[in-house]
Amino acid sequence: MTSFMARPVLPLGRRVMGSSRAMLNTASYGPPGFGGAGMTMPPGFNAKAAQQLRAPRVPEKTAQTQTQPQPRRAHARDDSLNTLGKTMPPGYKAQVAQLGVFEIPEQVTGSVGDRALGKALVRAWRQDGIIQIAMSEAQRRLMEDAMAASRRFFKKSPAEKAACVDSQSYAGYIASGEEVTDGIADYSEIFTITKDLDLAEPRVRAKWPCHGPCPWPDVDMKTPMVRYNDVLGAEGEKLLQLVEFGLDVTPGSLTRHTRDGWHHTRVLRFPPRNATNGRGKEGRGIGSHTDYGLFVISAQDDVGGLFIRRPKEDERFANWEKSAAGLREDDDGWVYVPPVDGVHTVILGDMMQYLTRNYLTATPHKVGLNTRERFAFAYFHEPSFQAVLQPLDGMQDKAASSSPSPATKTKVTDEIHYGTHFTRMFMRNYPDRVTTKRLLAEDRLSLLERPELRTMGAVPAVPAL
Ligand SMILES: [Fe+2]
């Protein structure tokens, strides 16, 4: 701990050896059976290191010449790739990411330090496809409470869990083998939390697609999940503000789309690979895909299973036009993201790629099953369901003039209505769910063309109850 707390503070724009690119080292692991139970947190690992990284902000006065936009190392005592790689699921071969940890300020004010941090975040995403940010103490407590609630929920009987379904929203339970990625069942077991709207809510009464209640099993699940989601919502807004600085776009260019954002969360459990139900692909938790919104803030326990692909010039995709599911699933070039105590990882999604004209690209990722069951959260920070998105002003030039730049030749459509994009993604993932069947039977898709569904803040006119 002492060694990196004592790292010298560097002037703005200065690149250091500890940048995230320098820390993405190469190592291969692959023999089946490597990384068995009990090997995930070896003696001497400083599990509290990342938690303690959230140091006080540099005062504005000194930030003129001294900022800390570079990520810091998350491991103080045992940061060897051998240690990090030991949690990799058996049977996989990948590089092991050894990422730094960024500290996000309590408030984003537009200070010199905020601007430098925004640029560092954008740079790290373009290089590594993923960033890590330190949890605050409050976030950590809420995450642990939510994780405990998740474990309690998934221990319930299959019948109790299966009852948590709603026919109007896609919130609720998804059994292992029910989710489909690129035509193949995944072994993930999920509870999805979407905007919780009761039956009297005007948008629900007007039968807007995907709008409805969240079928909570009980308050024991609901309370910690809502609190954790709320704190991640605030974190997501700060990240968006920082990205605006990082991209040199007008403040508000991104956050104007997230008023009443369609934020939602996937509470995830992955069975151990020796305890699957035969409905999916051996060893696979979730197949290769990109996420559909702005970005995902995720947390994982100490088991390990997440793999990503770094942005690459020769890997072009636009998931909103043609599904990127299954992309390079069995190819080389995957990077394993090992569990690090006290951090959230942030993965970019399709809408960030679209808005920035491929300057920032959605990060392909997949999940492998490990030797122990694994729990994780994926919080999706999203535009409003009503948002109509167009690429940000000035991004064409930036993408064209940068080198290397991934996917610069990908076609960019004129505009994207986020609600339509979300609805299509969920119908594709859950073709047999009651929600999809009702949506089609009641022709709710046609409502997506109505002006009130494409105007921020508009509410439907519905008769009084
Ligand atoms: Fe995902």
387-428 tens-digit pLDDT: 999 999 888 755 555 544 444 444 556 899 999 999 998 998
pLDDT confidence of residue 42? 28
Q: How far is the CA of 292 from the centre of ligand 1 (A)?
A: 8
Query: Rounded CA gap, 94 and 99, in Å?
Result: 15
Query: Rounded CA gap, 8 and 94, in Å?
Result: 33
Q: How far is the CA of 380 from the centre of ligand 1 (A)?
A: 9
Q: How far is the CA of 138 from the centre of ligand 1 (A)?
A: 25
Query: How far apart, in Å, are the Cα atoms of 209 and each of 203, 280, 323, 423, 432?
Result: 9, 29, 21, 7, 16
**pLDDT above 90: residue 307:** yes
pLDDT confidence of residue 30? 30
Which of these ranges, 314-323, 396-405, 433-442, has the smallest mean pLDDT? 396-405
Q: Which of 207, 341, 188 is nearest to 276 (CA)?
A: 188
Q: How far is the CA of 269 from the centre of ligand 1 (A)?
A: 13
Q: How far is the CA of 102 from the centre of ligand 1 (A)?
A: 22
CATH number for the domain that contains residue 206: 2.60.120.330
In a domain, 462, yes or no: no
Q: How far is the CA of 114 from the centre of ligand 1 (A)?
A: 28
Domain that holds residue 91: 23-454
pLDDT confidence of residue 320? 78
Q: How far is the CA of 386 from the centre of ligand 1 (A)?
A: 22
Q: How far is the CA of 299 from the centre of ligand 1 (A)?
A: 12
In a domain, 234, yes or no: yes
Share of the chain above pLDDT 90, in %: 60
> What mean pLDDT is predicted for residues 149-161?
96
Q: How far is the CA of 254 from the centre of ligand 1 (A)?
A: 21
User: Which of the two residues, 371 and 19, has the higher pLDDT score?
Assistant: 371
* 237 phi-psi bin (left φ>0, alpha ψ -120 to 50, beta other): alpha
Q: How far is the CA of 411 from the centre of ligand 1 (A)?
A: 23
Q: How far is the CA of 8 from the centre of ligand 1 (A)?
A: 37
In a domain, 442, yes or no: yes
**pLDDT above 90: residue 343:** yes
261, 381 Cβ separation under 8 angstroms: yes
pLDDT confidence of residue 445? 96
Q: How far is the CA of 128 from the centre of ligand 1 (A)?
A: 16
In a domain, 421, yes or no: yes
36-71 CB burial, b ≥16 within 10 A, e <16 = eeeebeeeebbeebbbebbeebbeeeebeebbbbbb
pLDDT confidence of residue 428? 87
User: Which of the two residues, 38 and 304, has the higher pLDDT score?
Assistant: 304
Which of these ranges, 24-28, 176-180, 220-224, 227-231, has the smallest mean pLDDT? 24-28
pLDDT confidence of residue 313? 77
pLDDT interval class at 325 (50, 70, 90): confident
Q: Which of 321, 291, 323 is nearest to 306 (CA)?
A: 291
Q: How far is the CA of 367 from the centre of ligand 1 (A)?
A: 9
Q: How far is the CA of 390 from the centre of ligand 1 (A)?
A: 23
**pLDDT above 80: residue 464:** no
Q: How far is the CA of 41 from the centre of ligand 1 (A)?
A: 25
Query: Rounded CA gap, 8 and 102, in Å?
Result: 16
Query: Rounded CA gap, 94 and 309, in Å?
Result: 10
Q: How far is the CA of 50 from the centre of ligand 1 (A)?
A: 24
How many structural domains is the chain composed of? 1
Q: How far is the CA of 379 from the centre of ligand 1 (A)?
A: 10
Q: Please enumerate in sequence order all residues whose Cβ is within 8 A of that of 53, keeping only pairs 6 or more positions apart, or say none.
A: 72, 74, 101, 103, 134, 342
pLDDT confidence of residue 412? 56
> What mean pLDDT is predicted for residues 6-26?
30
Q: How far is the CA of 286 from the centre of ligand 1 (A)?
A: 8
pLDDT confidence of residue 461? 81
In a domain, 17, yes or no: no
Q: How far is the CA of 277 from the centre of ligand 1 (A)?
A: 22
Q: How far is the CA of 329 from the centre of ligand 1 (A)?
A: 13
pLDDT confidence of residue 61? 36
pLDDT confidence of residue 402? 52
In a domain, 433, yes or no: yes
Q: How far is the CA of 378 from the centre of ligand 1 (A)?
A: 8
In a domain, 299, yes or no: yes
Query: Rounded CA gap, 256 and 260, in Å?
Result: 10
pLDDT tens-place string over residues 76-97: 445 566 777 889 998 888 999 8
Q: How far is the CA of 328 from the centre of ligand 1 (A)?
A: 15
Q: How far is the CA of 306 from the centre of ligand 1 (A)?
A: 10
Q: How far is the CA of 365 from the centre of ligand 1 (A)?
A: 6
Q: How far is the CA of 83 from the centre of ligand 1 (A)?
A: 25
pLDDT tens-place string over residues 130-147: 999 999 999 999 999 999
Q: How far is the CA of 290 from the centre of ligand 1 (A)?
A: 6
CB atoms inside a 10 Å sphere around CB 96: 23
Q: How far is the CA of 289 from the centre of ligand 1 (A)?
A: 6
Share of the chain above pLDDT 70, in %: 76
Torsion angle in degrees (nearest 10) through CA of 146, 148, 154, 160: -80
pLDDT tens-place string over residues 239-293: 999 999 999 999 999 999 999 999 999 999 998 987 666 665 676 778 889 998 9
Q: How far is the CA of 291 from the centre of ligand 1 (A)?
A: 5
pLDDT tens-place string over residues 26-70: 333 232 222 222 223 222 223 333 333 343 333 333 333 444 567
Amino acid identity at 150: S
pLDDT interval class at 323 (50, 70, 90): confident
> What mean pLDDT is predicted for residues 305-321?
84
